[in-house]
A and B are shown apart, each in its own frame.
Chain A
Amino acid sequence: MTTLTSPPGGAAIRHPAPPATTGRTGTPRQGGTILAIPALVWYAVFMIGPVIAIFVIAALHWPGMLQPVSFAGLGNVRTVLDDPVFWDAVRNTAVQLAVALPIMIVCAYMLGYYVAQKPPGHRVIRYLLFIPGLISTPAKAMVFYAALSPDGLANGALQSVGLGSLTDAWLASPSTALACLIALDVWSGIGFTAVLFAARLDSVPDDLGEAAQLDGAGHWRTMWRIHFPVIRDYVGVVTMLQFLWTLFGSAQHVLLLTQGGPGSSSTTLSFLVYQKAFIAADLGYSQTVGVILFLAGLVGLLAIRRAFRQNY
């Protein structure tokens, strides 16, 4: 992205002879590209290499680190597709995305809009909203572990308001384990996303909202009909990010909080990749799911991009 810092007229005065300028600096610029090589090599060795390796390993039959490796072709795909646990993981991941994404984006947009209007106390809110973005995954998981344990915060709160009958072992119950993971995503995701939206909304000219309100539009209308279309592209970008974070990032929360259980009730696709590689030691299977996850990410990105491009 290039930014025009001076008007065309001013630039013309400062460069009386533009062709000479380009000619003079042409040589050192060419030589300079070499400086990008170390970064590129580093990046290729540690990032691109391993990503390509996922596809190779996915085509191998490799039942454990020290086991003989043989070529499996599409054999792993068949094994994976025949495994009911894989389909549980697909279902859990789908539920997770279908619930967490819309809640997160809609709430974060409204919250961001609220903060961008600078109501009383908006500085405090801004400070607070960032907190989940700063806390590491293990720390977040520990917060939820302590809050949702049988003697924890959630049950304590329920008991103190006389709803003791609703208490549960939240993380250990098949019906609530996945919901807890989704709650963790939403809890920590809304605040951070809201600040992103607030930052973008800050740069929308004030006149736009004021003009709409003079024309008799209420806040609700201004928020969704005026501001939303203006930053629609940005909402798309943030949705894509959250989609990727949710899709790929859930493994850590699952590992720390529920280990995918009870049964496979909270196994997500990304946790399955981890679990098959490092616990079950079925490496071909693991990386096949990795490839599927990769493709799901790609398809999802394209779909979200399309959804936010149309009607624009």
Chain B
Amino acid sequence: MKLGKRWLPAHILVWTYAVLLIVPLYYFLASAFKSNEEIFAHPFALPESFGFGNFRTAYDSADLGTAVVNSALVTVLALALTLLLALPAAFALARSTGRLASAMEQVFSLGFLIPTFAALFPTFLLAAATGLFHTRLFMVFFLPATAMPLSVVILVQFMRTIPREMEEAARMDGASTYTVLRHIYIPMCLPGIATVLLLNFLTFWNEYLYSLIIIGPDPEQRTVQVALPTLKAITGTDYGVLTAGTVLTLIPVWVVYTVLQKRMQQALINGAVKA
């Protein structure tokens, strides 16, 4: 399609927004290498030196090392549990034509309407009742449940595209249900599984409010997202340290995004529009 001169205002507006996205991030990245005086005096200038002092301070004062390990642990275990639960469920629902199965699918899709946030307090009670309050373990159990509607719906859609003949042929050769799932459905749904993994990786890694309440402030247990805001209180108003800490927590997500850009975008698009 031709883009004539009349598109000039559009170009200008779009790039203005792009600048609005970049400038705070640039300011942030640059500040991570600066001292407070430098930030206040020259907010937009490049840092005078690229020392990692701020990163070190942030890392030490908020126990970011332990926090990163905790986050990674919670994220990976929750992802594994999500797949363990969602794959068989999606497999069953995709192949069934019965009324029970379609009712179950309905129940999962209705999950999109549940505002997880509002149930924060009852979830807190549940954690207390199970004796898992103030542990990472509860988050490992809890996060997959929140991911279930989305994961099941996406996987069912992928599994429906697998031709029935594949399964029928395998059945004739004497394959069990488990073999069919393991050797036909899972390999053929890898794009769907990747979508679910990436999407949930982002949500699990970035989860804040539930982690804050359930895991609590214990530096041994808390995740990066909970540790990060504490920098604000610990460092007072040392913006260099604050921004350095924030940059540290963004690195894993940014690396994954840059490497898997196309796939990640597709995952986010699929995930956001769920139905």
Residues of A within 8 A of B (CB): 1-3, 5, 14, 21, 24-25, 28-36, 38-40, 42-43, 45-51, 53-54, 57, 107, 110-111, 114-115, 117, 119, 124-139, 141-147, 149, 151-153, 156-157, 160, 187, 190-192, 195-196, 199, 206, 209-210, 213, 218-219, 234, 237-238, 241, 244, 247-249, 251-252, 255-256, 270, 273-274, 277-278, 283, 286-287, 290, 293-294, 297-298, 301
Contact = CB atoms under 8 A, between A and B. Distances in A.
Contacts, number: 284
How many chain B residues sit at the interface, stated as a range, is: 35 or more
Nearest to B249: A139
B124 to A, nearest CB: 8
A47 B116 contact: yes
Contacts of A21: 164, 168
A3 B160 contact: yes
A142 B40 contact: no
20 contacts: A33-B92, A33-B104, A35-B91, A35-B177, A38-B89, A42-B144, A47-B116, A124-B18, A134-B254, A142-B245, A149-B239, A187-B20, A199-B269, A213-B1, A237-B275, A252-B209, A273-B118, A290-B118, A290-B121, A297-B115
B161 to A, nearest CB: 6
Contacts of A124: 18
Given A146-B239, A277-B120, A3 B161 contact: yes
Given A54-B122, A125-B14, A249 B117 contact: yes
B246 A139 contact: yes
Interface in B54-102: 85-86, 88-89, 91-93, 95-98, 100-101
Nearest to B266: A199
A32 B92 contact: yes
A204 to B, nearest CB: 12
Contacts of B123: 46, 50
B177 A32 contact: yes
Contact of B91 (A2, A32, A107, A252): A32
A92 B242 CA distance: 29
A235 B89 CA distance: 30
B206 A137 contact: yes
A270 B115 CA distance: 11
- Main SS of chain B's interface residues? helix
A104 to B, nearest CB: 12
Contacts of B146: 46-47
B58 to A, nearest CB: 11
B102 to A, nearest CB: 10
Contacts of A141: 229
Nearest to B91: A35
Nearest to B212: A255
A151 B38 CA distance: 11
Contact of A125 (B2, B18, B24, B257): B18
A126 B4 CA distance: 21
A2 B246 CA distance: 44
B243 to A, nearest CB: 6
